[in-house]
């Protein structure tokens, strides 16, 4: 995994410069500060790095994916800022959330301006990429943004709705999480000069690792330790959040166990004992293993998709990144 970390460190510094250039002339000063708050707070820049890599795996150059990749990171940042307002989350990337520092109005605006800047950034590479690639890239970003909004609305609608089945759940995490990662791998392919078939394959690669990431994120909530997770183990259970593990357990459980689990999920004041009972049920029905297996299958499928491409450093890194999503979050 050292190769992955090394390449992410290298890429994140050149992508960060691109983002800083794009945001430097925002006025007034407080909107500028609010807009750069999260991009200055770190972040592994995995999405734009994927764009740089998919540009190369199809025979293009690193720089082809730079502006379009940076645009994806701006979209990601915009969605984090607005999500934190919607969920009233206090902390993001170890910093106070934007709306906690500048208030909701300026946080809404900073999200909106990052969104706008993403499109400006793509258009700014018109001369180097050419008109067709730009339109294709903008279409890709617009489609991903629509899906992100729909996925977030679906996720909010799932709260307190325990009839969600596995397909509903997978559709939701595709829209909310995987669509933008897939947009990143697709947009890099477009910029790198891929043909339609290659573009489709790399979109699918992104979709699969995106799904695996989200499922793994839910898995970590139950199996990690509190220090590395940054929140109490089982907080998803406490919040009654629908995850693949919960969906699977509810589908498999006998009536008695299902009733116990639903009571815990609906309870807003779970004890540690409640969390343990839920965990025991997940183990009884092998739901944690099930989710883990699904995530691993997605990762293997994603890696296999890359076989059509000629061997290259970029291809190796893309395979490693697929494994990486089951080790650390994006």
The residue ranges that bind its own copies (CB under 8 A) are 26-28, 30-31, 82, 85-87, 104-106, 108-109, 111-113, 115-117, 119-120, 123, 126, 131-132, 134-135, 138-139, 141-143, 145-146, 148-150, 152-154, 156-157
CB of residue 316 to its own copies, shortest distance in Å = 34
Q: Which is nearer to its own copies, 101 or 153 (CB)?
A: 153
DSSP reduced 3-state for 95: strand
Closest approach of its own copies to the CB of residue 57, in Å: 25
Please give, one letter per residue, the 3-state secondary structure of the chain. Answer: CHHHHHHHHHHHHHHHHHHHHHHCCCCCHHHHHHHHCCCCCCCCCHHHHHHHHHHHHCCCCHHHHHHHHHHHHHHHHHHHHHHHHHHCCCEECCEECHHHHHCHHHHHHHHHHHHHHHHHHHHCCHHHHCHHHHHHHHHHHHHHHHHHHHHHHHHHHHCCCCCCCHHHHHHHHHHHHHHHHHHHHHHHHHHCCCCHHHHHHHHHHHHHHHHHHHHHHHHHHHHCCHHHHCCCCCHHHHCCCCCHHHHHHHHHCCHHHHHHHHHHHHCCCCCHHHHHHHHHHHHHCCHHHHHHHHHHHHHHHHHHHHHHCCCCHHHHHHHHHHHHCCCCCC
Q: Which is nearer to its own copies, 13 or 165 (CB)?
A: 165
Of 1 and 146, CB closest to its own copies: 146
* Comparison of 115 and 203: residue with beta carbon closer to its own copies: 115
CB of 137 to its own copies, least distance (A): 10
Nearer to its own copies, 32 or 223 (CB): 32
CB of 42 or CB of 157, closer to its own copies: 157
Taking the least distance from each CB to its own copies, the nearer of 122 and 194 is: 122
Residue 86 CB, nearest approach to its own copies (Å):
4
Least distance to its own copies from the beta carbon of 83, Å? 9
Task: Give the nearest distance from C-beta 178 to its own copies in angstroms.
Answer: 16
Q: Are strands 91-92 and 95-96 parallel, antiparallel or unpaired?
A: antiparallel
Minimum CB separation from its own copies for residue 152, in Å?
Answer: 6
């Amino acid at each position: 995994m050292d190769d992955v970390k090394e390449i992410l460190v290298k890429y994140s510094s050149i992508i960060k410069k691109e983002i800083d250039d794009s945001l430097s002339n925002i006025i007034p000063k407080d909107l500028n500060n609010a807009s750069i708050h999260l991009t200055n707070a770190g972040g592994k820049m995995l999405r734009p790095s994927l764009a740089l890599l998919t540009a190369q795996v199809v025979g293009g150059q690193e720089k082809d994916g730079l502006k379009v990749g940076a645009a994806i990171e701006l979209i990601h940042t915009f969605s984090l800022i607005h999500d934190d307002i919607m969920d009233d989350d206090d902390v993001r990337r170890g910093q106070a959330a934007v709306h906690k520092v500048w208030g909701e109005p300026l946080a809404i605006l900073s999200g909106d301006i990052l969104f706008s800047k993403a499109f400006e950034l793509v258009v700014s590479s018109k001369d180097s990429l050419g008109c067709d690639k730009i339109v294709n890239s903008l279409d890709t970003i617009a489609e991903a943004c629509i899906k992100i909004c729909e996925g977030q609305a679906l996720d909010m609608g799932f709260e307190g709705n325990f009839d969600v089945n596995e397909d509903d759940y997978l559709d939701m995490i595709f829209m909310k999480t995987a669509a933008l990662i897939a947009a990143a791998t697709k947009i890099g392919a477009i910029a790198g000069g891929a043909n339609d078939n290659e573009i489709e394959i790399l979109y699918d690669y992104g979709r699969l690792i995106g799904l695996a990431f989200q499922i793994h994120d839910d898995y970590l909530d139950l199996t990690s330790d509190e220090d590395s997770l940054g929140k109490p183990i089982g907080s998803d259970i406490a919040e009654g959040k629908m995850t693949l593990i919960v969906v699977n357990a509810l589908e498999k459980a006998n009536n008695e166990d299902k009733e116990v689990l639903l009571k815990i999920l609906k309870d807003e004041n779970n004890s540690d004992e409640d969390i343990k009972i839920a965990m025991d049920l997940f183990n009884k029905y092998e739901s944690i293993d099930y989710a883990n297996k699904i995530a691993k299958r997605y990762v293997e499928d994603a890696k296999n998709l890359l076989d059509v491409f000629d061997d290259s450093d970029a291809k190796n890194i893309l395979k490693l990144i697929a494994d990486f999503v089951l080790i650390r979050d994006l």
